Amino acid sequence: MTKKSPLPKQASPTAPLTPKEKGVLEYIEAQLLSSGVSPSYQEIKDHFGLASFNSVQNYLKQLTNKGYISNPLNQKRAIQVLHSASAVQEHLQAKVSTTTGSPRTKLLQARDEILSLPLLGKVAAGQPIEALKYDEFVDVPPSMVRNPSKSFALKVQGESMIEDGIFDEDIILIQEQKSATNGDIIVATVDNEATVKRFYLRAQPDSDDKSKKVELRPSNSTMKSMWFSPEEVEIRGIVVGLIRKF
């Protein structure tokens, strides 16, 4: 009786991750846990400050080849996590340690790693509304923020950023900084009122004034950009993450 060849097995995470690969995978996991959908290529690119979409695709290809994710047909928001970022590390620890503790202990330890960021009120995805004021705290996975000591959260009000996937009542995570590059999604204050928009510094079209202005551009095709002189706009930070509660 001839012996049948074994069926090919699904890729398993036998190779450890590089720090950058681990960061990308943890970000995907965090987005799936918080919003129920995987991040878009644009969101991954913006979160890690990658130079191009090719860089995003390279990271996803490496994670796929190592057996951590599945990305069928490279479809948008179709990334599936097959194994967590710590799968190999946990497997190795289980083999060499006899004091790892129970699954409940591990779960409690993982929960302790959640960050609490200050929720500083509401920010307008529309016309600017209110100044940033201390309100409460919101728990977020550590992988969703780059610099916890300089990060805070805001609740969105309005629909001007819906084409970037930012909806009314979403909570956005902000990395505090005073500068931005063209295309960044920022939180800015104008006349002490806060708004979230895409930032551009350029000459205003169809204007005789050729000096550079700050364009706060909505991501909603039914709305128009707001234009200000640079000294009128105070950049409070850039958007690095989003939490949606159902």
Out of 35, 143, 151, 160, pick the active-site residue.
160
Provide the number of structural domains found in the chain. Answer: 2
Q: What percent of the chain has pLDDT over 70?
A: 76
Query: Higher pLDDT residue, 94 or 200?
Result: 200
Q: What integer is the mean pLDDT of 213-217? A: 96
Q: Are residues 134 and 107 in the same domain?
A: no
Q: Is residue 163 part of a domain?
A: yes
53, 80, 112 — which closes off a domain?
112
- Total residues found in the chain within this entry: 246
SS3 173: strand
Per-residue pLDDT tens digits for 51-110: 888 888 888 888 888 888 887 766 667 888 888 876 555 544 554 444 445 554 444 444
Confidence band, pLDDT 50/70/90 cuts, at residue 125: low
Asked whether residue 171 is assigned to any structural domain, the reply reads: yes
Residue from 76, 77, 50, 46 nearest 199 by CA:
46
Query: In what helix (H) or strand (E) does residue 89 lie, and over which residues does it extend?
Result: helix 87-96
Residues 57 and 78 in one domain: yes
The proportion of the chain whose per-residue pLDDT surpasses 90, expressed as a percent, equals 28
- 52: Cβ contacts below 8 Å, ≥ 6 apart: 45
pLDDT digit string (tens) for 15-29?
777 878 888 888 888
Q: Which of 176, 183, 148, 182 is nearest to 234 (CA)?
A: 176
CA distance 144 to 185: 16
194/212 Cα distance (integer angstroms): 22
DSSP secondary structure code for residue 189 in this structure: E
Which residue type is seen at 107?
L
Asked whether residue 133 falls in the same domain as residue 237, the answer is yes
- Whole domain around residue 99: which residue ranges? 19-112
Average pLDDT on 127-134 reads: 49
Catalytic residue among 38, 197, 213, 219: 197
Sign of CA dihedral 244, 47, 113, 78: positive
Specify whether 52 is located in the same domain as 102: yes
pLDDT at 204: 93
**Residue 76 within any structural domain of the chain:** yes
Q: Which residues contact 5 (CB under 8 A, 6 or more apart)?
A: none
Residue 177: inside a domain: yes
Mark whether 197 is an active-site residue: yes
How high is the mean pLDDT of the chain?
79
Q: Are 28 and 69 in contact (CB under 8 A)?
A: yes
Q: Is 45 a catalytic residue?
A: no
**11 within some domain:** no
Residue 221 lies in a domain: yes
Kind of pairing, strands 80-81 and 69-70? Answer: antiparallel
CATH code assigned at 103: 1.10.10.10
Do the Cβ atoms of 45 and 55 come closer than 8 Å? yes
Express each pLDDT in 103-116 by its tens digit: 544 444 444 467 78
Residue type, 213: K
Domain boundary among 112, 142, 171: 112
